[in-house]
Amino acid sequence: MCALLRTHPLDPSSVTTHIRSYFRLPCEGRAANMSSTTTSTTATTQTAQVGSISLDSSLAGYDEEQIRLMEERCIVLDNDDKYVRDGSKKECHLMTNINKGLLHRAFSVFLFDPESGKLLLQRRAAEKITFPNMWTNTCCSHPLAIKGELEEAEQIGVRRAAQRKLDHELGIPAEQVPLDEFQYLTRIHYLAANGQDDIWGEHEIDYILFITANVTLQPNLNEVCDTKWVSPEELKALMTELDPASFTPWFKLIVQKFLFPWWTELLARRQAEQPLDAKSLADLTDHSIHRML
């Protein structure tokens, strides 16, 4: 498959079929096994949208572990990224609350191989409550409202959360992704529904982190159903050939505005035969909050 993409990065129909097949089958097989659950969930969700949303109605039929994770405590913010209070993951992802302005902190990690310069993508598992089966950046999640992850100096709380979730989702040991190797670049503020008329969504101030590291992968199949290393050309081809709905909304926003210029700089700043180093992009750090609503 990699050879096919390199040989025909933007090739039309014959490649399209292969790309679509490769990037959809692993998760769709798992999703098919959950078909009865999906039917049940849809019916329950419709009922929940009419009346008040309760724990049972909004989460009925979903994966047990993913339901448990909905009780994690996220960091609720004002529009300037200032801490307001903590709130459950469930509370922060219900569109009824998002539509009233509820906003929380998040992060998006982009992990690159230091030799090839390729970016690691993941495909979210079918079991995920929000944006299941979609391709996205290496890891995207939320710092928790706990002492170590609330710390804001040098984005240390977000870095700790990123290290924790790389282990949880992809099985990457903390020692392979040291806290001081994450390069913070900027923040985006965006809002996205899980789908038309869906009760779930995202409303986040998202910290974007780059890191270059040699890593071993042992994906947690309750979180991630597939992974893929891609070059810039391969990613452009995929985003042309696959349905836009195959990718998470935050990933598409970051790709459209930021990713490729940063990636180009990362590759251009390689020192002689040395490995790529995300820290070389430190001068590109932008402390603004980019509103992409």
State both tokens at 143: 């710092």
In the chain the first and final C-alpha atoms are separated, in Å, by 36
Q: Which amino acid is at 93?
A: H
**Do the Cβ atoms of 210 and 267 come closer than 8 Å?**
no
* DSSP letter, residue 219: -
Nearest to 133 by CA among 32, 40, 42, 206: 32
Residues designated as active site: 140, 204
Nearest to 96 by CA among 245, 197, 221, 244: 197
* DSSP letter, residue 146: S
Distance CA(232)–CA(238), nearest Å, equals 10
Task: Tell me the DSSP string of 199-255.
Answer: SBEEEEEEEEEEEE--------TTTEEEEEEE-HHHHHHHHHHS-GGGB-HHHHHHI
Paired strand residues for 191: 203
